[in-house]
Amino acid sequence: MSDRRLVQAVLALLFALALGMGGVLTNAAPAAQTGTLQNPGFEDPFVPFQDDTTRMVANGWSAWHVPQREGDEGFRNLKPEYQPASADNPDRILAGENAQQYFSFFATHTGGLYQQVPMVSGSTATFSAFIYIWSTRFNDPDRSEDPGRVQVQVGIDPQGGTDGESERIVWSTPLEYYDQYREVSVTVPDVGSRITVFVRTSFDQPQKNTVYVDEARLVVQQPAQPTASATATTTNTPVPSVTPQPTQTTAAPTVLPSPTPGSFSFPTPTQEVDPNQTEQPLPSPTPATNVEFPAQVMYTVVAGDTVGALAARFNSTVEAIIAANGLNSDALIYVGQELIIPVRSAAPTAVPTSVPGPTQAAPTAVQPTPIGILPTSTPIGIINGDTSSGFTVYTVQRGDTLSRIAAQYNINLQTLVQLNGILNPNLIQVGQQLRVPGSAQPQATPTPQVQPTARPSTPRTHVVQRGENLFRISLRYGVPVATLASLNGILNANLVYVGQVIMLP
């Protein structure tokens, strides 16, 4: 009897120790019930994934991403940062007290979240999650401008693996949309005794690429038993009664290419694209039939163009351009698209800045040069003086930077970036031709007798502190991130270190 009591005492002690350790927080899903998600609402607590404090993940979930590979551009396939949505953006919470946020700052990523769930073999599993995308190079929190071209998917590995690149994973149809929560769903029949559910986002362009995930669901239909019919069981928190227009995955706004990282080939829109509109091939231009515009000019669209601006530049009308090119009522055009511009004569004149008086000479007729076709004969460092199209052309010289060129012609750096469709302000090449607003004039080169404008002997600087990043520094001083990155020669805006001295304009 004494031996039995000793064994019972040891077992009781081990049980007590196990209970005492039950409060330790990990990202694993402990003692999960069959067919049940852990923490489907992404509520507190959020804990460091693999002891990485830059990846604060909702308890029960795990982070994953495709690592950067040799040959990738410096901004591509960086590890996303994870944090609770309530930390900075409580308005992004769909239901409950929190949601999961993860992001890449002026970089791209392919990755997201996953969770393993025990199952009854042979069941049919349907996994869904509400996902919100904000992607922009600007600062409007409610609008994605010039977005990073995202693919949004959820998936199921029917054998319970955790490799986000596994060929076993069944993915939903890839979607592209912005600035709203949508429910994305996938169904897989005949799964094994454990599955893994995945949330995946993949961006192609290095913008402020941010993802919010909330209200996941797992619906399980167990295999039919010999004596009972199969029943469908919903095992998680019900969907909130008011949701921001959830949609079925069959109503995909855009069908994108297969989700291979780095294999995107999207047109760059010059106007905001309706996320609910299915992408259609560009219409073929049709000859103009308006008798008011008997002649035509062929024009190639560049970044920043709109139909309204082109109509004003060529003394045409929006309606005539829409009719000539078969555009829709939104007049959506794309970079590289060839447009027919109906004009009143074969050699339209430039619009004068003022009406000539009785003693003024009439403006000389000038053949407009479409800004989408840049001259190729301009010598290095020389400005093409023809401003009839509203722009001049500057050819980059050795030693030039974009910020120096902007300062030289007294224009805003961001204007120069947008005008020329430049993705990375740090990368320009000798011989590259840049469009400069026609009114911009280079600063006169000082003669030896004239002293240059005095500059402060010590420029403004900021020393990076623990927990800071370039985005927070830009907010503190009211300076765009692109300006800070260009001024300091920073290629990857995500990588600054404690003690680094950041020059401020």
Residue with tokens 């709109």: 306
What is 461-503's CATH number? Answer: 3.10.350.10
Nearest to 160 by CA among 123, 108, 214: 123
User: Hey, do 46-251 and 461-503 end up sharing a CATH topology, with the first three levels equal?
Assistant: no
Query: Is the pLDDT confidence value at 282 over 70?
Result: no
Across the range 293-313, mean pLDDT stands at 81
Tens of pLDDT, residues 192-234: 999 999 999 999 999 999 999 999 999 999 888 765 444 444 4
Question: Was domain 280-354+364-373 assigned CATH 3.10.20.90?
Answer: no
Provide the mean pLDDT of the chain: 74
Q: Is the model's pLDDT at 181 over the cut of 50?
A: yes
Q: Lowest-confidence range among 22-36, 403-417, 431-445?
A: 22-36
Q: Which of 362, 444, 372, 434 is nearest to 401 (CA)?
A: 434
What number does CATH give the domain 46-251? 2.60.120.260
pLDDT at 263: 36
How far does CA 142 lie from the centroid of its chain?
14
Q: What is the pLDDT of residue 331?
A: 80
Q: Which of 170-174, 255-259, 370-374, 473-477 has the lowest mean pLDDT?
A: 370-374
Report, as an integer, the average pLDDT of 164-179.
Answer: 95
Q: From 150, 128, 146, select the one nearest 261 (Cα to Cα).
A: 150
The 10s digit of each residue's pLDDT in 327-352 is: 887 788 887 788 888 887 544 333 33
* Structural domain boundaries in the chain: 46-251, 280-354+364-373, 461-503
pLDDT at 440 (0 to 100): 53
The CA distance from 205 to 215, in Å, is: 28
pLDDT value of position 5: 55
pLDDT one-digit tens code per residue, 257-267: 434 343 333 33
To the question of pTM greater than 0.75 for the whole model, the response is: no
Mean of pLDDT values over 16-40? 62
